[in-house]
Amino acid sequence: MQSLDVIADPVRLAIARHLAAHGAASLPELADAAGVHVNTARPHVTAMEEAGLLVGERRPAEGPGRPAVDYRLAQGWTLSATDFLGLAELLATALVRSAPDPAALRGLGREWGGYLVGRPGAKDVTDQLPRVLERLGFQAVVGDEVVLFACPCPLVAPDRPKMVCELAAGVVEGALAAAGSDLRVGTHDHHPEQRRCTVELQRPTGRRPKGKRR
């Protein structure tokens, strides 16, 4: 089986991306990164290990019971963020030519944001939002607003980068809702030429959440 076939699954792709970013992680950490239960993540990790994408290393025993295992990407195997850049550009071009309604784009982003968070329930949005946005190629800092750096917008949709920014704002909305947060998206500013966007977070009253401005 080809490597791309092995990771052609949202859970396995999330696991590979987490290990590419963090080096090594335990099974519970990988399950958390993928937004699934440990029992769901276990067979995916096993399949990736059997395919030669992952290697497991047992930690030194610290007491009775089986020692924990840390997983890392196999030596020489990397997950390139540019593997599908050409395809992403093609899809973005097709989307632009279909002249999508901004409201429809925002709605699609909301659905995807909820999907990436995983099981609905109370979660820490300062932890969840960066993870969700990282899976889409964004780097995010969360305070009283979400600041997106290194935005892929001008790379995948150079003729209409704000279309991707609109999707990102929708993703933030969907992730907030799925995480059980009462925060809502307020104004959002897009600066494709700087590859930077900001999304204001508000309470239902319209007040900004308390916290240090970023």
Residue pLDDT, tens place only, 140-184: 899 889 999 878 777 777 777 888 888 889 999 999 999 999 999
Give the three-class secondary structure for 41.
helix
DSSP character at residue 35: T
Spell out a b/e string for 79-114, using b for 16 or more CB atoms within 10 Å of the CB, else e.
Answer: beeeeeeeebeeebeebeeeeeeeeebbebbbebbb
Mean pLDDT of 86-106: 77
* Domain containing residue 20: 3-73
Q: Is residue 209 part of a domain?
A: no
* 14/98 same-domain check: no
* 48/104 same-domain check: no
pTM of the model: 0.58
* 158/97 same-domain check: yes
pLDDT score, position 68: 84
Q: What is the CATH number of the domain that holds 135?
A: 3.30.1380.20
Domains identified in the chain, total number: 2
